[in-house]
């Protein structure tokens, strides 16, 4: 793994607008974006925005870390922390959303109309106001996660760590395959172009060999390898072999060049 970076931004007691979410999506096509959160990790490249600007413009809090440093909270292991809160969001998110819906449904009809009217006029404070009122009137649910031993947390932390490593391995493999495909495609385009001007290429080889300079010998060998591959692809290996034979005869008094030919298998 060459690098690993994680970014997360959150709002507090308010929600992002549709326009803000569209703006954030232009920054990253892979990020997880909701009405209150933006998060993404990178195993190559970096966040295509200034984190401070995102915090000021859209959010109220942020978190970031990379493989070259880690978050140290009161000496607690980050893996243990992840294991300890594992499942908390799933356990509480749905019941909380349902309670908010029920509470809003019990508001006076005239009050709901007034709130909707404020939203329609662009009042962005309605969401925060409702969440403050909700938290004041509806007690927070008690923790429902079971108590676990240190051994259980350690085992769960390792499972979560392996899941993260697997995600990174899969992504790295995909990137490697993508890079290999791009290289192969570029190679095909180059050889296709070279195949259309093979006569010029052979003259170029002759010109390089005549100079008797080692670096030009190396350039000639590289070009000959390309011409050999073209011959193999087009089923003209014998034609290429005949060119090499003539080249050896014409430069029989250049032992350094001939040695390079032998080493390259030409």
pLDDT tens-digit map of 73-121: 444 566 666 666 665 545 444 567 788 888 888 888 888 888 888 888 8
Please, what is the average pLDDT of the chain?
Answer: 81
Phi/psi class of residue 62: alpha, beta or left (left: φ > 0; alpha: ψ in -120 to 50)? beta
Note the pLDDT tens digit of each residue in 169-215.
Answer: 888 888 889 888 988 888 889 888 888 888 888 889 888 888 888 88
For residue 222, CA distances in Å to 182, 191, 214, 229, 248 come to: 21, 13, 13, 11, 16
pLDDT of residue 24: 92
Residues 210 and 258 occupy one common structural domain: yes
Q: Which residues contact 86 (CB under 8 A, 6 or more apart)?
A: 156, 160
Cβ-contact 153, 84 below 8 angstroms? yes
Residue 115: which domain range? 88-137
Q: Which residue has the tokens 């356990």?
A: 91
* 209, part of any domain: yes
Does any domain span residue 100? yes
Does 115 reside within a domain? yes
Predicted model pTM: 0.42
Q: Are residues 111 and 62 located together in one domain of the fold?
A: no
Question: Structural domain tally of the chain?
Answer: 3
The verdict on 213 and 252 lying in the same domain is yes
What torsion, rounded to 10 degrees, do the Cα atoms 10, 11, 12, 18 define? -140
Does residue 62 sit in helix, strand or coil? Answer: strand
pLDDT value, residue 139: 66
**Residue 232 domain-assigned (yes or no):** yes
Token reading at 165: 């490593």
- Asked if residue 123 belongs to a domain, the reply is yes
Instruction: Confirm whether 173 is domain-assigned.
Output: no
Does residue 43 form part of some domain?
A: yes
SS3 at position 64:
strand
Do 94 and 49 share a domain, yes or no?
no
Based on the domain organization, do 201 and 259 belong to the same domain? yes
Q: Is 166 part of a structural domain of the chain?
A: no
């Amino acid at each position: 793994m060459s690098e690993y970076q994680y970014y997360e931004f959150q709002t507090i007691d308010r929600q992002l607008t549709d326009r803000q979410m569209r703006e954030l999506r232009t920054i990253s096509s892979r990020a997880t974006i909701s009405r209150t959160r933006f998060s993404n990790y990178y195993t190559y490249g970096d966040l295509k925005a200034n984190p401070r600007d995102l915090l000021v413009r859209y959010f109220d809090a942020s978190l970031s870390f990379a493989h070259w440093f880690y978050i140290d909270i009161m000496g607690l292991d980050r893996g243990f922390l992840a294991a300890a809160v594992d499942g908390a969001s799933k356990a509480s998110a749905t019941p909380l959303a349902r309670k908010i819906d029920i509470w809003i449904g019990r508001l006076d009809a005239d009050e709901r109309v007034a709130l909707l009217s404020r939203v329609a006029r662009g009042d962005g404070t309605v969401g925060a106001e409702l969440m403050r009122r909700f938290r004041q009137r509806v007690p927070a649910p008690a923790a429902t996660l079971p108590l676990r031993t240190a051994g259980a947390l350690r085992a769960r932390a390792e499972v979560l760590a392996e899941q993260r490593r697997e995600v990174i391995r899969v992504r790295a493999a995909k990137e490697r395959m993508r890079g290999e495909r791009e290289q192969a495609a570029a190679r095909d385009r180059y050889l296709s172009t070279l195949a259309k001007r093979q006569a010029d290429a052979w003259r170029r080889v002759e010109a390089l060999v005549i100079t008797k300079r080692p670096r030009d010998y190396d350039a000639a060998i590289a070009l000959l390898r390309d011409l050999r591959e073209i011959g193999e692809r087009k089923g003209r290996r014998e034609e290429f072999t005949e060119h090499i034979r003539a080249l050896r005869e014409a430069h029989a008094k250049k032992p350094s060049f001939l040695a390079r030919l032998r080493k390259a298998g030409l």
